[in-house]
Structure 1
């Protein structure tokens, strides 16, 4: 089976070429995950042994992707060694990664009271608590205490601009974001945040220009900017502009469901609510922006900043999506589904989130529930094929080839005109028929897949070797296999 499960949301959200150096990543990691944790030499050897045992148990749990158990053991160790600030920092980082921010803040108070150096992350937590409560003056004062190094180089300008916007000092905030930079990724980020601040200030024309600059710099499709600008166009009754913008995005990703709700609104001439209603929302957006930009470089840090964005603004769906993706990549599928369930009613993301929940259910052994969910979706929207193809993929994974071929065939019936992207449907259907020893039907679908995508290496390879095994079409089969081999990544 060819698995084209999903396009990650980060590929649709993140800015281009945001140059975040390895040094920045390492510096951040050292701040929140210190090395060289020591334990006090105590005359009570049983106590010392117990705390070290708890620490080792926590480390084992942490590196076996069980952070909540790790937190439990670290807290147990801290009870007998409360002055171990390095271990407390590690515990705080894990708490944040699990969304246990309020508990992390309690632990952060111990470090703040100790007056130690190198507590940027602790200061950031305190600043975000103030921003969440819309106490922007206190947040601004806290942010002043952050060092301008590591990932703060990218985050600080956005936070500074937003806390100023919270005090209605819009021009001061924009001045920070408009500083010269040669990094197109930063220009894109700051253009988007500048546009949002302009919206807060009631300067919609300037906001549009800034969004347009971000799209120009991004070049490839960017879902977040498209949604933000489209939302503004709709609220200004510029429905033609919004439709043109959405159509451009959809032309790049024709099978996407992400804009279906927007098209329905425009058809009904129903204006949407603003996606941002306060400077607090902007702070959350800044955290999300950084999280999405570093996802390929450090998934744990992405999880940290994604959780912080969700803490500041729990309803920020894109931050929850990012967190869920990070959990999926760590094979924590049930935890990912819990996060997905928070946004299952979001009009932009509901459909794709339901598809992912079903896929994750199957991967944790809940195949019946997964199939049932996809059957409901397939009946709910008979214009779409993805629920049926996903069902076919799941059935094929479990070697239920006859059932999978029926799902794929039903999907084919819904397609009025086959396009290049439909090669994978024919390829998957061909595999299901081949496994049922229905070669004529399998070959027909493989050839159709090649008609749609003539040089697709997976199809060339599968069909080529199938012909070789049967001793037919040997000259063509050899050429196809050679073509497939040439396309292998080196």
Structure 2
């Protein structure tokens, strides 16, 4: 399966360098290339469209413009450009995707199949599945099933083929046959996604097997049901025959092909390639909320936050995934530099979805990043009120609230939360490190702190933060020589972190390597530390660590030879 997916990805050339063939288009071409590096799809499309008005013969420029139009959600312009490109007799994989999307969205199954057969290809997996759904759209059920069987004979594609054959079987009303094809043993990992499990539950309900459907939901999600799953379970428990809504037509099936490939590509290639397929699925099926949310998430990964916000905003308020979309929109707003708007989105969501713990915890996370620790603590309080006390997943809520309590100097409450987090998730490295480091900073329970941090370092030996904590606890215990190695490793892993470099300077001073210590303090000062830290570093550079400790009323360091 992986080989076929990589072939899909590698056949695209969004980031493939090419040389502008005419001097007159160089400016637009170069601007378009720069926009590509920044994933600014609107700018990419405009610059390359301008270049193509003067030189329409460059196929790679056409491809780049097409991808930009599709990825910014402007399929109309992509179709216009693809059709003009196709009139020249040329084609490429991206123009074929766009052309196929146009035929699929209009329900022109015969033309779609004819063109695929004649060579307007996308790739073996996509082409084979599209031909199966096109046959179903033409009313040829037998031909459709035979086509899916043909795809299943190709190495690595059996899971994809069985998954789509199951959906096609359900579309024609044979839910028993669909379920036989839909299990993990036939459809592989595709049968275990949230979307797939919900569709299987709907099929079971259509067969008057609501009890089996409820058991499937509980087993698949271990009782952790989001609003959409809870709503489905409630209907099943009430004895309702839930309609099959996952894929209801051949056109939906065509959209599902692109969505399925997009979901698989997320683990195989870069977000811009994957986005092309997610946007195509969204275009073919206008109510495909899962494709809309995937597109928004990919845009976030690409740091194109305005387009991500716009995509999340398309999810209807009455849809069961609305809360998930609003959380995504708030995160995109925050990452895009608009924290006030992000907070406003979450506060409004609390009015309509205040019974969902993640709504409050997400607001708490935003407050915590904004250093509004008291507000964050209150948000985490509400999230924990909505979470069973023995839920193992609640460890992070206690950990996050512990951080906000610690930052607000409520140490008793902070330690209580950290220890509760460890009770729920024993050995969790981040919690062990934070609690251990905090104890070191407070000069409390240093032996226990060392044990915690050593356990965290063993679990995550490549974490600069944890190695810094390990070196620092050795330093605070007076075990200076033992502090050197982990602290030097931490500085190598986090070379521009002011705190780590400052700590390394102190450790080196303690073992007599004073010239190196001053070098590390100078480095720390160059990395924009907090002003209080910067003032202390400047004082150490001026008079040395021993005098600074004396001025602070701290015990002196043991004598060490100058420069070791």
TM bucket by the smaller chain?
0.7 to 0.9
Aligned partner (choices 260, 268, 289) of residue 260 of structure 2: 289
Residues 342-391 of structure 1, C-alpha deviation per residue, up to 9 Å, x if partnerless? 22436441221122222323333443343343334435445432122111
Instruction: Give the whole-Å Cα distance in 2 for the aligned partners of 1:200 and 1:216.
Output: 17
Name the counterpart of 2:173: 202
Name the counterpart of 1:265: 235
User: In the alignment, is residue 36 of structure 1 matched against residue 36 of structure 2?
Assistant: no
Determine helix, strand or coil for the equivalent of 1:249.
Answer: helix
Instruction: Give the whole-Å Cα distance in 1 for the aligned partners of 2:265 and 2:409.
Output: 47
Q: Is the 8 A contact 2:392 2:425 kept in 1?
A: yes
Instruction: Give the whole-Å Cα distance in 2 for the aligned partners of 1:39 and 1:82.
Output: 11
Deviation at 1:410, TM superposition (A): 2.8
Residues 191-241 of structure 1, C-alpha deviation per residue, up to 9 Å, x if partnerless? 221011112223221111112246873298411211211222233433222
Instruction: Give the whole-Å Cα distance in 1 for the aligned partners of 2:164 and 2:318.
Output: 23
Instruction: Give the whole-Å Cα distance in 1 for the aligned partners of 2:376 and 2:60.
Output: 53
Determine helix, strand or coil for the equivalent of 2:224.
Answer: coil
| 5+ residue gaps, structure 2 | 463-564
User: In the alignment, is residue 418 of structure 1 matched against residue 390 of structure 2?
Assistant: yes
Residues 426-482 of structure 1, C-alpha deviation per residue, up to 9 Å, x if partnerless? 111111111111111111111111111120000111111122222222222111111
Name the counterpart of 2:288: 316
Instruction: Give the whole-Å Cα distance in 2 for the aligned partners of 1:136 and 1:22.
Output: 28
Residues 262-313 of structure 1, C-alpha deviation per residue, up to 9 Å, x if partnerless? 1233344263363323211100000111111112312111111111111111
Query: Structure 1 residues 274, 400: CA separation in 2 closer, same or farther (over 3 Å shift)?
Result: closer
Name the counterpart of 1:76: 50
Name the counterpart of 1:360: 332
Name the counterpart of 2:103: 130
Aligned partner (choices 50, 59, 75) of residue 33 of structure 2: 59
Aligned partner (choices 108, 129, 147) of residue 176 of structure 1: 147
Name the counterpart of 1:3: none
Instruction: Give the whole-Å Cα distance in 1 for the aligned partners of 2:400 and 2:438.
Output: 15
Q: Is the 8 A contact 1:19 1:183 kept in 2?
A: no
Deviation at 1:21, TM superposition (A): 5.7
Deviation at 1:329, TM superposition (A): 0.4
Determine helix, strand or coil for the equivalent of 2:182.
Answer: helix
Name the counterpart of 2:487: none
Instruction: Give the whole-Å Cα distance in 2 for the aligned partners of 1:472 and 1:248.
Output: 44
Deviation at 1:147, TM superposition (A): 6.9
Name the counterpart of 1:12: none
Instruction: Give the whole-Å Cα distance in 2 for the aligned partners of 1:21 and 1:333.
Output: 27
Instruction: Give the whole-Å Cα distance in 2 for the aligned partners of 1:412 and 1:215.
Output: 40
Query: Structure 1 residues 393, 224: CA separation in 2 closer, same or farther (over 3 Å shift)?
Result: same
Name the counterpart of 1:227: 198
Deviating more after overlay: 241-250 vs 379-388: 379-388
Deviation at 1:489, TM superposition (A): 5.9
Query: Structure 1 residues 23, 289: CA separation in 2 closer, same or farther (over 3 Å shift)?
Result: closer
Deviation at 1:260, TM superposition (A): 2.1
Query: Structure 1 residues 221, 138: CA separation in 2 closer, same or farther (over 3 Å shift)?
Result: closer
Q: Is the 8 A contact 2:20 2:29 kept in 1?
A: no
Structure-to-structure mapping, 1:404-483, within 5 angstroms = 404-483=376-455
Aligned partner (choices 174, 182, 193) of residue 164 of structure 2: 193
* TM-score where L is the length of structure 1: 0.86
* TM-score where L is the length of structure 2: 0.76
Q: Is the 8 A contact 2:133 2:168 kept in 1?
A: yes
Deviation at 1:402, TM superposition (A): 1.5
Higher Rg = 2
Residues 39-82 of structure 1, C-alpha deviation per residue, up to 9 Å, x if partnerless? 24xxxxxxx44x21121122222222222122112222222223
Instruction: Give the whole-Å Cα distance in 2 for the aligned partners of 1:231 and 1:142.
Output: 35
Deviation at 1:33, TM superposition (A): 6.2
Instruction: Give the whole-Å Cα distance in 2 for the aligned partners of 1:120 and 1:232.
Output: 35
Structure 1 runs (4+) greater than 6 angstroms displaced: none
Query: Structure 1 residues 274, 425: CA separation in 2 closer, same or farther (over 3 Å shift)?
Result: closer
Query: Structure 1 residues 437, 274: CA separation in 2 closer, same or farther (over 3 Å shift)?
Result: closer
Query: Structure 1 residues 308, 38: CA separation in 2 closer, same or farther (over 3 Å shift)?
Result: same
Determine helix, strand or coil for the equivalent of 1:271.
Answer: coil
Query: Structure 1 residues 378, 73: CA separation in 2 closer, same or farther (over 3 Å shift)?
Result: closer
RMSD: 2.5
Name the counterpart of 1:298: 270
Name the counterpart of 1:7: none
Determine helix, strand or coil for the equivalent of 2:227.
Answer: coil
